[in-house]
């Protein structure tokens, strides 16, 4: 077994959107190691990037390359195009009449539908280019705090069952491992789950000229469809894990049968002649760590709070959260010169920032779900109506 020891100031666990943006912004002032259990990003659901992300990409000098990127960049040799313009959403929510929200009056302009895998590749590539020490695949194995430093052990087992491990000594740990919040959980921190939402998704060729996203409700939950780069389309269904028959979200034929009962999804499926790719089910519930920071560690992005996909804000939140964290660490100079009193100030301010985001999110989520009254007696909707706000915060 090969074991390498690395000394650094900050180790970030998880090279998703939160981890990469934090790595890129912190690498200007700190030695940063970024690890991920995956050798390269995989296809994932979640492609709608909010227009406000433009400001963050610009601040990090990533915007130009991002906007001009099509298929020929170094990091993008096999992923195809990185994004297409998001031209707005047509929603059938609360009424069978279509309601259109377009970005024309948004001061940040248009957002994007991303090729998510390519976007994550782009961010990983940019982090490496900015001097971040990137290690993947490397899965967090164990962590302990010893003599003012964190000691993080990672492990990788390759196809030939050869093991490679890293021991990373760092002053500060950022848990950006997504909903699993792997590091925080190993510290005994509890994650609160506020609902049982899951999402089941398929992709196929896009045969539709209308380039808006579509949202449409049903008794059991809500449907979503959007065009993706490279002439693809996604269709996803959001429901509670205890309300749906398992087979409907496990078997393509049953999923399609169920999708065709929704008039908007039926239109997309009717036109389709291509092979459909079934991607299965992922967790999509609202959840929050009951402690988002501790002694020289912090949880970031989905690791701290995860949103209902209805908000379409998860990626932007992960990016904004990473920028706020960078500012706070720099203002206190906490990594290079940690003291007990600075740690206390950091704990207060960071926890407050996350709580504010969470309260804002919950308020808007409840307002939105309350607007669909047609199925108010159905379990999916009654669970989300009225006093949910008070119950959840």
Ligand X SMILES: Cc1cc2nc3c(=O)[nH]c(=O)nc-3n(C[C@H](O)[C@H](O)[C@H](O)COP(=O)(O)OP(=O)(O)OC[C@H]3O[C@@H](n4cnc5c(N)ncnc54)[C@H](O)[C@@H]3O)c2cc1C
Which of 48, 234, 265, 320 forms a contact with ligand X (CB under 6 A)? 48
Nearer to ligand X, 343 or 368 (CB): 368
Q: Which stretch binds ligand X (CB under 6 A): 15-23, 60-68, 203-211, 372-380?
A: 15-23
Task: Kindly identify the residues of this chain, within the stretch 348-377, that bind ligand X according to CB under 6 A.
Answer: none
As to burial, measured by CB atoms within 10 angstroms (0-12 exposed, 13-18 middle, 19+ buried), residue 370 is middle
Q: Is 177 in the site for ligand X (CB under 6 A)?
A: yes
Instruction: Point out which span in 14-22, 83-91, 187-195, 352-360 binds ligand X (CB under 6 A).
Output: 14-22
312 touches ligand X by CB under 6 A = yes
Q: How many residues of this chain bind ligand X (CB under 6 A)?
A: 36
Residue for token pair 């390519």: 118
Q: Which has the closest alpha carbon to 314: 22, 54, 47, 36?
A: 47
Q: Which one of 11, 18, 60, 357 is in contact with ligand X (CB under 6 A)?
A: 18
85-144 binders of ligand X (CB under 6 A) = 139-140
Residue (282 or 345) nearer to ligand X, CB: 282
Candidates 12, 22, 25, 36; binder of ligand X (CB under 6 A) is 36
Residue 52 makes contact with ligand X by CB under 6 A: no
Q: Which is nearer to ligand X, 284 or 329 (CB)?
A: 284
84 vs 199, which CB is nearer to ligand X?
199
Only segment of 68-76, 97-105, 300-308, 340-348 that touches ligand X (CB under 6 A): 300-308
Q: Is 54 among the residues that bind ligand X (CB under 6 A)? A: no
CB 274 → ligand X: shortest distance, Å?
Answer: 22
> Is 318 a binder of ligand X (CB under 6 A)?
yes
Q: Between 49 and 334, whose beta carbon lies closer to ligand X?
A: 49
User: Contact region for ligand X (CB under 6 A) — 265-273, 296-304, 352-360, 379-387?
Assistant: 296-304
Asked if 316 is part of the footprint of ligand X (rule: CB under 6 A), the reply reads yes
Asked if 199 touches ligand X (CB under 6 A), the answer is yes
Pick the binder of ligand X from 35, 56, 82, 204 (CB under 6 A): 35
Q: Which residues here bind ligand X, judged by CB under 6 A?
A: 13-19, 35-38, 45-49, 139-140, 176-178, 180, 182, 199, 282, 284, 301-303, 309, 312-316, 318
């Amino acid at each position: 077994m090969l074991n390498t020891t690395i000394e650094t100031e900050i180790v970030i666990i998880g090279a998703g959107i939160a981890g990469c943006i934090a790595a890129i912004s912190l690498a200007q002032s700190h030695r940063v190691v970024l690890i991920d259990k995956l050798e390269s990003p995989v296809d994932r659901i979640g492609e709608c990037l909010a227009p406000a992300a433009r400001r963050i990409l610009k601040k990090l000098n990533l915007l130009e390359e991002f906007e001009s990127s099509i298929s020929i960049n170094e990091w993008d040799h096999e992923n195809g195009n990185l994004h297409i313009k998001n031209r707005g959403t047509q929603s059938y929510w609360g009424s069978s009449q279509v309601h259109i929200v377009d970005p024309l009056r948004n001061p940040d302009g248009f957002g994007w539908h991303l090729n998510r895998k390519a976007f994550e590749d782009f961010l990983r590539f940019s982090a490496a280019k900015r001097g971040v020490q990137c290690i993947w695949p490397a899965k967090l194995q164990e962590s302990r705090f010893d003599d003012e430093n964190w000691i993080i052990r990672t492990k990788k087992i390759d196809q030939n069952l050869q093991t490679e491990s890293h021991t990373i000594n760092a002053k500060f740990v950022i848990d950006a491992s997504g909903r699993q919040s792997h590091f925080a959980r190993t510290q005994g921190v509890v994650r609160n789950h506020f609902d049982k939402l899951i999402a089941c998704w398929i992709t196929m060729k896009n045969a539709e000229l209308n380039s808006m996203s579509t949202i449409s409700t049903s008794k059991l939950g809500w449907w979503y469809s959007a065009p993706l780069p490279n002439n693809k389309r996604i269709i996803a269904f959001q429901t509670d894990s205890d309300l749906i028959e398992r087979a409907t979200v496990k078997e393509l034929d049953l999923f399609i049968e169920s999708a065709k009962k929704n008039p908007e999804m039926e239109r997309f499926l009717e036109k389709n002649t291509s092979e459909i790719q079934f991607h299965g089910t992922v967790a999509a519930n609202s959840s929050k760590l009951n402690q988002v920071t501790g002694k020289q560690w912090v949880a970031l992005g989905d690791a701290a709070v995860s949103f209902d996909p209805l908000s379409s804000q998860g990626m932007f939140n992960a990016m904004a959260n990473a920028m706020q964290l960078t500012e706070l660490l720099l203002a206190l100079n906490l990594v290079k010169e940690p003291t007990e009193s600075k740690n206390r100030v950091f704990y207060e301010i960071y926890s407050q920032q996350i709580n504010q985001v969470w309260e804002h999110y919950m308020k808007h989520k409840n307002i939105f779900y309350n607007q669909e009254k047609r199925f108010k007696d159905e379990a999916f909707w009654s669970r989300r109506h009225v006093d949910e706000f008070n119950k959840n915060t």
